[in-house]
């Protein structure tokens, strides 16, 4: 049986996350990584150095870049009927952010009480632990429910919200995945169009990976998150995005139908 690349990618990602989860849970890897940035007396000096300070303090600038892309696609999609696919891409990217980083990470897991009762996992941040100069004596490993011990920490350590700002760029890679279809929206498919679309597509993938790594280093080096928090920030951003793209919006099927209609119109001989 031939497996689609999406299934292979999701399987590999799930296996990698599962293996790393076991490593983080049964070893002190989280503490070792965080400890390498700790200078004593509750000090994490690397996090206040450039470029890490920028990623710690100016994450909203990166987020605004993605918001600008989403608004541009929606506006273009509304401008003409032939550009309507861009409206779908923009809406997909918006919903992907609201569901993954928004709902799953920042509402359900990080911890908040805005709804009148507490929701969250309540994992204490590294710099609040006694081992790193804080006051909390127990270190909670990945997926250990700190909220069961009475902690109700709003905006807690698990997962890392900053990392989702970088990881969400994966939606660019997904939205521009069908190069052949997008090229034909503007008429005939040309080599120049293919190069431009591929550039945007893989720029999204590279940005998602590189920015996720940079944001992870910045947050770990500042003592605000563990490495496992950052890993799950990527997981809870990429997985909902893939589910929305392939099975909720079902964009590949919509593109196939639209491309078939384009080809039928092209095939009809003029009188």
Residue with tokens 């993954």: 100
pLDDT of 226-241, one tens digit each?
999 999 999 999 999 9
Dig out the tokens for 3 from the structure. 């497996």
Q: Please give the pLDDT value at position 75.
A: 96
pLDDT of 27-44, one tens digit each?
999 999 999 999 998 899
Q: Please give the pLDDT value at position 1.
A: 42
User: What is the sign, positive or negative, of the torsion defined by CA atoms of 128, 131, 135, 140?
Assistant: positive
**Closest to 233 in 3D by CA, of 154, 155, 159, 145:** 159
**For the chain, percent of residues with pLDDT exceeding 90:** 81
Inform me whether the pLDDT recorded for 200 exceeds 90.
Answer: yes
pLDDT class for 223, splitting at 50, 70, 90? Answer: very high
Q: Please give the pLDDT value at position 269.
A: 54
């Amino acid at each position: 049986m031939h497996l689609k690349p999406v299934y292979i990618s999701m399987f590999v990602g799930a296996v990698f996350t599962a293996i790393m989860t076991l490593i983080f849970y049964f070893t002190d890897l989280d503490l070792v990584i965080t400890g390498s940035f700790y200078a004593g007396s509750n000090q994490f000096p690397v996090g206040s150095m450039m470029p890490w300070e920028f990623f710690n303090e100016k994450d909203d600038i990166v987020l605004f870049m993605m918001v600008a892309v989403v608004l541009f696609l929606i506006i273009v999609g509304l401008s003409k009927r032939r550009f309507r696919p861009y409206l779908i891409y923009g809406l997909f990217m918006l919903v992907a952010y609201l569901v993954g980083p928004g709902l799953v990470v920042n509402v359900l897991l990080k911890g908040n009480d805005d709804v009148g009762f507490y929701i969250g996992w309540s994992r204490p941040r590294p710099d609040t632990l006694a081992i790193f100069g804080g006051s909390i004596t127990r270190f909670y490993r990945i997926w250990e429910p700190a909220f069961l011990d009475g902690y109700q920490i709003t905006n807690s350590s698990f997962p890392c919200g900053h990392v989702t700002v970088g990881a969400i760029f994966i939606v660019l890679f997904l939205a521009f995945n069908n190069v052949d279809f997008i090229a034909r929206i503007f008429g005939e498919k040309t080599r120049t169009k293919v190069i431009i679309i591929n550039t945007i597509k893989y720029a999204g993938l590279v940005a998602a990976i590189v920015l996720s790594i940079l944001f992870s280093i910045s947050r770990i080096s500042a003592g605000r998150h563990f490495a496992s928090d950052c890993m799950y920030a990527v997981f809870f951003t990429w997985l909902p995005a893939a589910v929305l793209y392939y099975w909720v919006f079902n964009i590949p099927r919509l593109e196939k139908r639209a491309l078939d209609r384009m080809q039928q119109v092209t095939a009809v001989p003029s009188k």
